[in-house]
Chain A
């Protein structure tokens, strides 16, 4: 027990939390943009998987992590645009088409990997590249914070910088404000001359790009190979993080950190005698509880809102 506590209250543990938070935070930020644009993106999981696969395969072929990253990004954005095309232009139900994309990703990635490598499980037999880990010169020598803030993967830094980026985009930039207006009330937005369709295309493309970064991180940072269904539900946990975070960038980041903490804890506890299946449940149960709590809060808010409305005419 003492050992466990020591392990948890250590810098390496905090660093591990940041590491496992990254592939939840990135897609969650993407999903947040889509959600606020009124086009819930359930396909985050599939987009991550496709990008993780594309990134690794291109990095194997070219031995360049940057080309891998580019390929992963392109694959993610294209997949998101396919979803957008089916929903916005062909009027398909966005949830069902997103489910289809998730199935396509799960089957398609294995199909391609099997075709190219002859192995169905993973690409670990081949040499792929990894995104660089960054040592920050002065910070890395600070006693406790050094190992936490320095030496993380480039994409981990990008994930946390993206929180600020997404916040600025959503609340300070014209496109972001239009996007939220579309999500709030498409008819009202249309009536003031906002192009709803192109805003929602933008929202889905951005969510695809961010989910793609999350996928690339998984296969080219967190580990150095692509494995079948390696996203393991992170795309859905990301969705939950959006709701838990109250649909704001900062809240989403905190929620993602909570899930990251739960996952890192489960790894730590797994080293002890605690059955690891029970520990692995923690993030999912946390998500369920969070979902209910968020729904309850929303409900209270709606009721309070109604009451205020009703009282307004008779002061």
Chain B
């Protein structure tokens, strides 16, 4: 039923209210940014102190960590390549995380996707565009199913999703290993790796486009842009995304409000799986152009940091992904140049997660910030 009000007054109120809400939103975004930046600074400081304590030269180490990725063009290429993977992973994690589901299946989903994409790209001759689209779609479907399985048993049976996704990862990685050894590696080959994929399936390298050596960075960056937008639309502009966010805020409320929480939770796992699969496709069609052992090893938890730093906001994930892969690539360079183990980056990563999840610290930082603004 329409309530009749003086139209001028109501539109005036609405505009003012909207402005107020928008200002509030902007302010909280700024506060979030400040909190995140200070967390990163604090984590880097911890790394600095660790190096100081163990008697390494932290200034030398940090200068190669922080300037390394830009020091040569092929290193910048490595940064772009790594960021591509991490941003996609961050997006894939953000969706179940928004629904407060701890799906850790990205690792396995990447391996599955790599296998499916490689089978098509190696053995099935296809015309140019289709040779990329078909492996991509097939791999995403596989990722969807691989995500759906733990999603279903979580949503309908309330089985611990952490255990189920990690176990599934282990099974898939072993399966990958088995198939690579016994099926994909051609008989008589010197090392454990598949044949190259067909040229039609290879994603164009950025080096070929720009004429400078950008390593293995490739056109998958376009996929990243598309995915960022798609995930943002999904979460912010569709009913499903709304349901995911409500479940994340308060699952009981969502259920009483008439949302089919079980279906939505299972879907959040599955969509995350389909996106993680794109990262796997990027590794096969773009980076390695064949299957190699442990193709996506060590990437399992990286997406979590990227998503957490961005507070699961898809529009911020490219920024945090670029930042975090910068640290990763910088860490490798630091290891070469300063003989400090690249694993210090993992330590910094852990500190970032710990600090960002510590509600008390975050709230304290926020209240300090407000205090400073009000005085």
A→B interface (CB under 8 Å): 42, 86, 89-93, 95-97, 99-104, 106-108, 110-111, 114-115, 120, 233, 236, 239-240, 243, 275, 277-278, 280-281, 284-285, 287-288, 291-292, 294-296, 298-299
In the bound complex, do residue B171 and residue A288 qualify as a contact, i.e. CB atoms below 8 Å apart?
Answer: yes
Contacts of A115 in B (CB 8 A): 54, 56, 341
Q: A90-B361, A95-B102 are in contact. Are A291 and B163 (CB under 8 A)?
A: yes
By beta carbon, the residue of chain B nearest A113 is B341
Q: Determine whether B178 belongs to the interface, using a CB cutoff of 8 Å to chain A.
A: yes
> Nearest Cβ in chain A — how far from B38, in angstroms?
15
Within 8 A of A (CB), among B132-165: 153, 157-160, 162-164
Complex CA distance for A288 and B347, rounded to whole angstroms: 31
Could you tell me the distance between the alpha carbons of A154 and B205 in the complex, rounded to whole angstroms? 57
CB–CB A93/B357 < 8 A:
yes
Contact B174 A278 (CB under 8 A): yes
A92 CB, nearest partner CB in chain B, Å: 4
B223: interface (CB < 8 Å):
no
Instruction: Tell me, yes or no, whether B358 is within 8 Å of chain A by CB.
Output: yes
Q: When chains A and B are docked, how far (Å) is the Cα of A298 from the Cα of B159?
A: 10
CB–CB A291/B341 < 8 A = no
Q: State whether the Cβ of B232 lies closer than 8 Å to any Cβ in chain A.
A: no
The answer to whether A292 and B167 touch across the interface, beta carbons within 8 angstroms, is no
Closest CB-CB distance, A89 to chain B, in whole Å? 7
Q: Which chain B residues border A280 with CB–CB below 8 Å?
A: 174
B158 to A97, Cβ gap below 8 A?
Answer: no
Q: Which residues of B contact A (CB under 8 A)?
A: 54, 56, 102, 104, 153, 157-160, 162-164, 166-168, 170-171, 174-175, 177-178, 181-182, 301, 304, 308, 341, 343-347, 349-351, 353-354, 357-361
Task: Write out the residue numbers on chain B whose beta carbons fall within 8 Å of the beta carbon of A294.
Answer: 159
A275 closest partner in B (C-beta): B178
Contact B181 A277 (CB under 8 A): yes
Query: Can you name 23 A-B residue pairings with CB atoms under 8 Å?
Result: A86-B357, A90-B360, A91-B360, A95-B162, A96-B102, A97-B354, A99-B104, A100-B354, A104-B350, A107-B344, A107-B345, A107-B350, A108-B347, A239-B160, A239-B163, A243-B159, A277-B178, A278-B178, A285-B171, A291-B160, A291-B163, A292-B153, A299-B158
Beyond the given A42-B162, A114-B343, A277-B177, could you list 8 further A-B residue pairs with CB under 8 A, ordered by the A residue number?
A90-B361, A100-B350, A103-B350, A111-B343, A236-B163, A236-B166, A278-B174, A291-B159
CB of B358 within 8 A of CB of A90, answer yes
Give the tally of cross-chain contacts (CB within 8 A): 137
Q: List the B side residues contacting A103 at CB < 8 Å.
A: 301, 346, 349-350, 353
User: When the two chains form their complex, are residues A91 and B354 in contact, meaning their CB atoms are under 8 A apart?
Assistant: no
With a CB–CB cut-off of 8 A, which chain A residues contact B168?
284, 288
Check B54–A284 contact: CB distance below 8 A: no
A291 to B344, CA, bound (A): 35
CA separation between A281 and B176, bound complex, in Å?
11
Instruction: With A89-B360, A90-B359, A275-B178 as known contacts, state yes or no: A288 contacts B102, CB within 8 Å.
Output: no
Chain A residues with CB below 8 A from B308, complex form: 96
Task: Tell whether, in the assembled complex, residue A240 and residue B163 are in contact, meaning their CB atoms are under 8 Å apart.
Answer: yes
- Give the chain A neighbours of B182 by CB distance below 8 A: 275
Given A236-B163, A278-B174, A284-B170: A120 and B354 within 8 A (CB)?
A: no
B357, A107: Cβ atoms under 8 Å?
A: no
Closest-CB distance, A108 to chain B (whole angstroms) = 5
B346 and A292 within 8 A (CB): no
Known: A233-B166, A291-B163. A91 touches B343 (CB 8 A): no
Contact of A114 among B102, B162, B341 (CB under 8 A): B341
Q: How far is the CB of A74 from chain B (nearest CB, A)?
A: 18
Q: State which of A107, A292, A296 has its C-beta within 8 Å of the C-beta of B349.
A: A107
Report chain B residues within 8 Å CB of A291: 153, 159-160, 163-164, 167
B175: contacting residue among A101, A108, A281, A292, CB under 8 A: A281
Chain B nearest CB, measured from A202 CB (Å): 21
